[in-house]
Structure formats: structure tokens, C-alpha cells
Amino acid sequence: MAEFTMELNDDQKQVRDWIHGFAADVIRPAAAEWDEREETPWPVIQEAAKVGIYSLDFYAQQFFDPTGLGIPMAMEELFWGDAGIALSIVGTGLAAIGVVANGTEEQIGTWIPQMYGTPDDVKVAAFCSSEPDAGSDVGSMRTRAVYDQAKDEWVLNGTKTWATNGGIANVHIVVAVVDPELGTKGHASFIVPPNTPGLSQGQKFKKHGIRASHTAEVVLEDVRIPGSCLLGGKEKLDERLARARERARSGGGERVKNAAMATFEASRPAVGAMAVGTARAAYEVALDYARTRTQFGRPIIDNQGVAFQLADMRTQIDAARLLVWRASWMAVAGRPFTSAEGSMSKLFASEVAKKVTAQAVQILGGNGFTREYPVERMHRDSAIYTIFEGTSEIQRLVIARTISDMPIR
């Protein structure tokens, strides 16, 4: 296992520069258009597929980087380009993580390739966890999965919301309740194959930011899927449920994680890296603007009120990146998050992105408030980081519970 380092090796630098070039040459020029259109940027996704960025091989190479820095490095550069388009490119990854975190080797090999398709026929996937009455409160989840033993099929009913690629995905990963008496421990994840009857897209949301990313409800009405589509298999599920029931009876014992939390724990540092990318982009625009914008006979960066803001912005961005890199290295090194380091990285980077993009708008003044300059869009996009995959409040709750070992509410 590689030792922790803050210096990228030559191969990593080459990959970083390659991704940065794609973000600069392909993503950025298209950002304003697709933000206004509020549509999935299929041509950009296809371009990413053609060069190899939107592919299973690319993400596998970054995921298995022994330093742990492959994924956060890639996320930062893509989201430096534009958050909405980048999320359309990487949104499939959350569903893929759901399969890797909970599935068998056979399921991983069968379904993940179908999530991406080919450069000539790109596909996307969706991870469906949140519901109208169950966002942060996953214990309120109502979508049910009932096993039909006679047919070896699972029957899913319910409505999911806030699903990236929901309804347009080739493969949907759905978290559902299999044992309501066990609360969050009674959840499981299921693969819904392409063109499965009963799955449909509900409302498509018109959003404040990340407009190029498709977000919608997913409606499940008597959706029947083969027994083999239960992630991890039924034997593993039965064993996990048995442990959860025993723990519930004894009032303690081994902790059992639910399916959605296993996915989110693996992805939180990556979300932190996305936030770092957006913050860095806004900071760079503000820095360039402050150097060239002249007021009262001198560049505005010559004023401490502006210069000190930029100093704080850069310091916070670098601190956020280091938290993300630490958590990413710990994850690949098998180091337990004894202080919820994954949540720390997501929490801090998300808050930094909101603050830095707001400061960038302020430095640009009236220009920053118009769509002629990208910081307005970056500021809108940054709002999502403190909300999705666990709000900042939930991150603080996770951290507080971890460091105190108390059931804080």
C-alpha cells in the first residue's frame, strides 16, 4: 500500500493534465449553453466516451490507484470545467459504486458495463435512494421490495426522487425496504434492468444549479425483477437481516450498515473533490479579474479588502483538498474512518465551495451577478454540495456521533 503523499507522481500528473485539457477545451465552452437548456448534454458525454473519460476502464483505473488520489483528482478537474456537465458525465458512478459496494463479482461484471454503453451508443445509470418523505431521514423510506418465492422474483413498489439520470438511465439501482421492522437495517439494493415494465420517469425537476444534470422522480409500479438482481444475493441478505434482528433483540452487538449508507460512505470524499473543483474555478476567475479590473487608478487586487479575500479563498481550497485526499487515501489503505474523516472532507469542501463562489461573485461586483461571467453559474451550482449525498447537517451528525460514540439526535 502506498504511503500518503501530497505530491502526484508523473503518471497522475499526466492523467490530471489530460482531464484538465478536456475540461478546458470541451466542457467549459459548452457550459453556459447546457445550463440554459437544462438538458442532458449527450454530445459532451459522447465526446468524453470517445476519448476514454466516460468509461468503465477509466474509472476503474482511477478507483484502483494505490494512492487513493485518482478519483478525487479526476473529479476536481472535471468539475473545474463545469459542475452540471461534469455531473452528467460522472453521475453513473454513484450507481456503479452501489453495485461495487454491495454486489457480487458476477453482478459487477454483468451490470456495470451496461451502465456506460459504448462510445457510439452511450448509456447512463441512476442510483435511487431518496424519496419524497425520506431524504436525510432514510428510516422513513416507503419503497417496498417483496420476494415472490414461487417465481424467484422481487416486486418493487414506490416512488424515488432526486435521482440523477432517473428515468433516462439504462440501469437503475434502487434501495428498498425488505423488512420494515428493522428500520434502516432492513433495506437492500436492487438492480432494475433496462426496459423493465413498471418503471417510469415522474417529475423532472427544474433546478437552481447543476442544470445540465438530469434530476427526476422514478416511479415503481409492480416492478418485477429476477432474484439475481438483489445486490449481494439472497443468502447474504438473509444473514445480514438475521444479525440485525439478533442485535435488535440484544440491544447491542455488531453494527450492521444499510445499503444506501455503504454507497454514500464510499462516495463522500469524491463529492468533496467535486466541490473543490468548483471552488477552484471560481477562485481563478476572481483572481484574474482582480488583477485586470482597474478602479481608482489601480487594479482592485491592490486593495487589502480584495486581496485578503483571495488569500482566504486559496487557503480554504487547499485545506479542503487536503481533507479530501486524506480521506481518499485512508479509504484505499483500509484505514477506518474513526473520526468520520469521509464526512469531514465532504462537509468542509462543500461549505468552502459555497463561501468561495459567493466571494467570487462579490469580487466581480455587478459583473459577477450577470450570466456574462461564469461565477454566477458556479455560485448556483455550489449550493448542491451541502445538500446531496448527505446534507451538511447530516455530516455534522455523523461526525459528532463518531467522535462521541453517542446516539446524538
pLDDT tens, residue by residue, 267-293: 799 999 999 999 999 999 999 999 999
CA atoms within 13 A on the CB side of 394: 18
pLDDT bin (cut points 50, 70, 90) of residue 2 is: low
pLDDT at residue 264, rounded to an integer: 59
Which residues are annotated as catalytic? 389
Q: What is the pLDDT of residue 5?
A: 74
C-alpha cell at 402: 463518531
**pTM of the predicted model as reported, rounded to 2 decimal places:** 0.93
Answer yes or no: are the C-beta atoms of 307 and 298 closer than 8 Å.
no
pLDDT, residue 254, reads 44
- How high is the pLDDT of residue 184? 87
Rounded Cα–Cα distance for residues 108 and 294 (Å): 56
Q: What is residue 76's predicted lDDT score, i.e. its pLDDT?
A: 98
Q: Which three cell numbers stand for residue 12?
A: 497522475
List Cβ neighbours of 135 (8 Å cut-off, separation of 6 or more): 162
pLDDT tens across 131-167, in order? 998 877 777 899 999 999 999 999 999 999 999 999 9
Cα 3 to Cα 325: distance, rounded to the nearest angstrom: 12
Rounded Cα gap, residues 294 and 261, in angstroms: 50
Q: Give the pLDDT of residue 260.
A: 55
Instruction: Name the grid cell of 291.
Output: 488583477
pLDDT score, position 256: 45
Asked whether the predicted pLDDT for residue 23 surpasses 70, the reply is yes
Confidence at residue 285, expressed as pLDDT on a 0 to 100 scale: 98
Mean pLDDT of 335-339: 92
At 344, is the pLDDT very low, low, confident or very high (cuts 50, 70, 90)? very high
Residue 180 CA to its chain's centroid (Å)? 27
> Dihedral sign, CA of 25, 26, 30, 32?
negative
Per-residue model confidence (pLDDT) at position 101:
87
- Which grid coordinates belong to 279? 471552488
Contact predicate 160/217, CB 8 Å? yes
Q: Write the pLDDT tens digit of every residue in 204-260.
A: 999 999 999 999 999 999 999 999 999 999 999 999 999 999 888 877 644 545 555
